């Protein structure tokens, strides 16, 4: 099979532990033998982040911004234990957070649906894609302890003085209070990201808020989405026969359980945090959950698997014990990145290649060849293969 030529590069971000083992295998077995592709490589292993004082993470983020397409392996976000384990100079922040701040995008988490693999919510037979507005709200809030007989007051001020002073509560006992915020520009970027993503994936879009209670704060989300939809997206949604709707969060949660999937759900920051884990569990496996960070205009895309570095499997691998680790979400990170490169460059052959790899993976799993994590979900009679065996099977299908 002659190699497919790809004119422009992809930013390849390597990571840690078992995810890194899978990463190298994907490139070696499934990508590089078939593609004439320039990779701009960054090593975001915890050791290299420590060596470069985390500069490598910023450089990787800037490089994705410049080259539009990045694919990232899972990385360790160090806690105290990891600082000790790797003798780190400090507790570095999550690389995903650093890159997200550079790209200013929205994260879309999408399950890979495999008919044969039972789901906890059995009737979800199409993806529920969670879009999380990863800015502001409680994650940037400030809290205070308050004293009995004190008043909690909220105001805003600029260089001309205070305005909009509101008394929140008079305390009859000691208590607590908090304040948080959001910015219209960020909400608008979120809305544009969501509309563009829904159009590209051909899914309807729902925004959830609690605007019956937060009549200024959550109403602002609804208004900005409505405004952006009516001005810039309504025609295209109608053309593709897609729907956009705002719904109350409680109603949306009920709909999610009732419906069979096949939609994008735009969530405020906290709702997205909680719902993405709930939806991942409902679909059953972290090894089948992909994650995409997309810039508002849809041009820049960073793809990855939603799972972490799978430490327990790495410990086995270090002892030279063969593992049965699920590589599918990491493979899909690659195919989605390649497919975005193909879309930007109008490279039909590349687009067909990435589609072919996805179809091969899905059909192999459906035929009953799978890793242990998925076999356990299918029941005691389901056999499983090792990671290396699964790679061999996938590779043999690409060649045929
Ligand atoms: N996006 C990222 O880079 C990312 C995300 C989450 C966690 N992490 C990092 O990963 C490390 C481990 O974190 P964790 O244990 O909470 O999460 P994890 O996703 O690595 O593992 C959670 C559980 O799911 C299982 N699992 C996950 N992916 C699997 C796969 N592909 N095949 C088979 N089983 C799989 C694991 O065995 C484990 O039981 C931490 O250092 C954390 O900081 C990174």
| Ordered mean pLDDT values, 10 residues apiece, the chain (400 residues) | 93 98 97 96 98 98 97 96 95 92 89 90 92 89 95 93 90 96 95 95 97 97 98 97 97 96 96 88 85 91 94 97 97 97 96 97 96 93 96 91
pLDDT value at residue 62: 97
Distance 390 CA to ligand 1 centre (A): 20
Count of other CB atoms within 10 angstroms of residue 360: 20
Instruction: Compute the distance from residue 23 Cα to the ligand 1 centre, in Å.
Output: 14
Cα 336 to averaged position of ligand 1 atoms, centre (Å)? 20
Distances (CA, A) of 316 to 312, 313, 321, 325, 398: 7, 5, 5, 11, 29
- Is the C-beta atom of 310 inside 6 A of ligand 1? yes
Residue whose token pair is 């969060």: 249
pLDDT at position 181, please?
96
Ramachandran angles phi, psi of 299, nearest 5°: -80, -40
Q: How far apart are CA 189 and CA 133, in angstroms?
A: 9
Question: What is the crossing angle of helices 311-318 and 17-26, to 10°?
Answer: 80
CA-nearest residue for atom 25, ligand 1, is: 310
Ligand 1 atom closest to Cα of 73?
3
* Atom 40 in ligand 1: residue holding the nearest Cα: 76
CB 60 within 8 A of CB 100: no
**Residue reference for tokens 């495999």:** 114
Q: For residue 125, how far is its CA from the centre of ligand 1 (angstroms)?
A: 25
> Residues 143, 178: contact at Cβ < 8 Å?
yes
Q: How far is the CA of 366 from the centre of ligand 1 (A)?
A: 24
Say if ligand 1 is within 6 A of residue 111 CB: no
Q: How close is the Cα of 311 to the center of ligand 1, in Å? A: 7
Number of H helices, E strands in the chain: 15, 16
Instruction: Tell me the CA–centroid distance for residue 163 and ligand 1, in Å.
Output: 47
Probe ligand 1: pick from 26, 107, 286, 315, max atoms within 8 Å of CB? 286
Q: What is the pLDDT of residue 139?
A: 85
- According to the model, what pLDDT value does residue 178 have? 96
Return the best residue to mutate from 305, 309, 315, 386 for the ligand 1 pocket (most ligand atoms within 8 A of CB): 309
Distance 180 CA to ligand 1 centre (A): 31
Identify the pLDDT of residue 338.
98
Query: What is the whole-number distance in angstroms between the Cα of residue 243 and the centre of ligand 1?
Result: 35
* Cβ of 74 below 6 Å from ligand 1: yes
Alpha helices in 143-248 (DSSP H): 184-201, 217-228, 234-239
Is residue 133 a contact partner of residue 268, using CB atoms and an 8 Å limit?
yes
Specify the residue with its C-alpha closest to ligand 1, atom 7: 308
CA atoms in the 13 A half-sphere facing the CB of 96: 23
Q: Is 75 in the pocket of ligand 1 (CB under 6 A)?
A: yes
CA of 17 to the centre of ligand 1 (A): 10
Which residue's CA is minimally distant from atom 23 of ligand 1? 310
Q: Check residue 215 and report its DSSP letter.
A: T
CA of 305 to the centre of ligand 1 (A): 10
Q: So what's the pLDDT on residue 161?
A: 86
Ligand 1 contact via 312 beta carbon (within 6 Å): yes
Please give the Cα distance from 131 to 155 (Å, whole number).
31
Nearest CA to ligand 1 atom 29: 287
Supply the DSSP string of 169-185, one letter for each residue: EE-SS-EEEEE----HH
Q: Which ligand 1 atom sits nearest the alpha carbon of residue 306? A: 1
């Amino acid at each position: 099979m002659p190699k497919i030529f790809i004119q422009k590069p992809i930013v390849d971000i390597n990571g840690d532990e078992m995810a890194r083992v899978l990463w190298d295998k994907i490139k070696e077995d499934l990508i590089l033998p078939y593609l004439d592709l320039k990779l701009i490589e960054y090593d975001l292993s915890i050791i290299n982040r420590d060596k470069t004082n985390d500069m490598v993470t910023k450089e990787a983020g800037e490089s994705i911004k410049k080259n539009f397409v990045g694919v990232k392996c899972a990385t360790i976000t160090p806690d105290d234990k990891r600082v000790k384990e790797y003798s780190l100079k400090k507790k570095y922040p999550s690389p995903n957070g650093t890159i997200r701040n550079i790209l200013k995008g929205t994260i879309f988490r999408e399950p890979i649906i495999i008919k044969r693999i039972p789901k906890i919510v059995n009737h979800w037979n199409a993806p529920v894609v969670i879009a999380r507005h990863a800015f502001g709200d409680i994650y940037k809030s400030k809290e205070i302890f308050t004293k009995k007989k004190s008043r909690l007051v909220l105001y805003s001020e600029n260089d001309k003085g205070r305005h909009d002073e509101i008394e929140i509560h008079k305390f009859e006992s000691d208590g607590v209070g908090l304040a948080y915020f959001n910015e219209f520009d960020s909400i608008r970027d979120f809305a544009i990201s969501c509309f563009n993503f829904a159009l590209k994936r051909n899914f309807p879009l729902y925004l959830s808020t609690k605007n019956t209670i937060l009549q200024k704060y959550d109403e602002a989300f609804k208004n900005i989405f409505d405004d952006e939809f009516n001005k810039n997206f309504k025609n295209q949604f109608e053309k593709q026969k897609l729907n956009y709707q705002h719904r109350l969060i409680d109603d949306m949660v009920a709909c999610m359980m009732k419906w069979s999937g096949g939609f994008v759900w735009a969530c405020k920051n906290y709702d997205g945090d909680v719902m993405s884990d709930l939806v991942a569990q409902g679909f059953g496996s972290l090894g089948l959950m992909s994650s995409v960070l997309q810039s508002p205009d849809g041009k820049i895309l960073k793809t990855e698997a939603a799972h972490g570095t799978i430490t327990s499997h790495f410990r086995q691998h270090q002892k030279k014990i063969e593992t049965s680790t699920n590589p599918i979400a990491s493979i899909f990170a690659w195919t989605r990145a390649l497919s975005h490169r193909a879309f930007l460059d109008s490279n039909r052959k590349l687009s067909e290649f990435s589609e072919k790899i996805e179809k091969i993976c899905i059909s192999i799993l459906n035929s009953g060849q799978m890793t242990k994590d998925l076999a356990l979900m299918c029941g005691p009679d389901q056999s499983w293969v090792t990671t290396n065996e699964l790679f061999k099977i996938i590779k043999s299908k690409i060649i045929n």
